[in-house]
Amino acid sequence: MAEWIEVCGVDEIEPGSYRTIWIDDEEVAVIKCNDGIYAIQDVCTHDGGELTGGIIEGCAIECPRHSARFDIRTGEVLDPPAFEPIATYPVEIRDGRVFVSSEPTSPVA
């Protein structure tokens, strides 16, 4: 059964910025983009490097190593060299606080 992990207050994440948390052995990035707050697997499926630290534009994040881009909302690849999507995690806002589910919506790569 999924657990909900409290991350921070909604106002503690600025648009275009992120927080990272660990769910089991997986690093997860919680990112605020234009239309909401999303949680994604913090690993590029191209080479296993961290996505955080890469450029966030709108709801896309670019891997800082080889420029693969992913949609933060869906995990889908927007630009190669990655071809496999990244996992996404459900996010809930409760009383102004951000919570992330311990179970991904899509499979972890």
List the Cα angle 91/85/64 in 5-degree steps: 90
Q: What is the residue whose two structure tokens read 């966030």? A: 56
Distance CA 6, CA 43 (A): 21
pLDDT in tens, the chain (109 residues): 789 999 999 999 999 999 999 998 999 999 999 889 999 999 999 988 899 999 999 999 999 989 999 999 999 999 999 999 999 999 999 999 999 999 998 766 6
CB atoms within 10 A of CB 80: 11
Q: What is the pTM of this model?
A: 0.92
Could you tell me the domains of the chain? 4-101 (2.102.10.10)
